[in-house]
């Protein structure tokens, strides 16, 4: 979704889309989420809100976009996708 400092181009959502799932530490979420909300869709975020530094210490990297009604799973992608499936009643 992001290359260096370029912003993603306009996104056309499929007419049957209900939500956008964003997985990752930084996928230029602010711009993507803004387009999703403008389209009347929900945002589902999977991100641990930080990462481990090489020395093992934790670096906080809070989400910058959640709004009321969005779903946030504060886990890594590997663990978070399973949690998201549980929240959505898919498993």
* Interval 8-21: pLDDT, tens: 666 778 889 887 77
For 3, residues 6+ apart whose C-beta sits below 8 A from its C-beta are none
Which residues, in sequence order, are bridge partners of residue 22?
45
Q: Position of tokens 């007419």?
A: 15
Asked if 1 and 8 count as a contact pair (C-beta separation under 8 A), the reply is yes
* Interval 36-67: pLDDT, tens: 888 888 888 888 888 889 999 999 888 877 88
Question: Which pLDDT value is given to residue 81?
Answer: 80
Asked if 28 and 8 count as a contact pair (C-beta separation under 8 A), the reply is yes
Tokens of 17: 């889309």
CA distances from residue 78 to 41, 56, 69 in whole angstroms, order as listed = 24, 19, 23
Tokens of 7: 């912003």
């Amino acid at each position: 979704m992001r290359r260096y400092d370029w912003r993603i181009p306009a996104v056309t959502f499929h007419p049957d889309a209900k939500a956008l799932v964003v997985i990752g530490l930084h996928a230029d979420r602010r711009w993507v989420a803004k387009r999703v909300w403008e389209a009347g869709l929900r945002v589902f975020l999977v991100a641990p809100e930080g990462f481990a530094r090489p020395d093992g210490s934790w670096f906080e990297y809070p989400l910058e976009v959640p709004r009321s009604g969005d779903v946030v799973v504060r886990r890594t992608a590997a663990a978070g996708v399973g949690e998201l499936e549980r929240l959505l009643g898919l498993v």
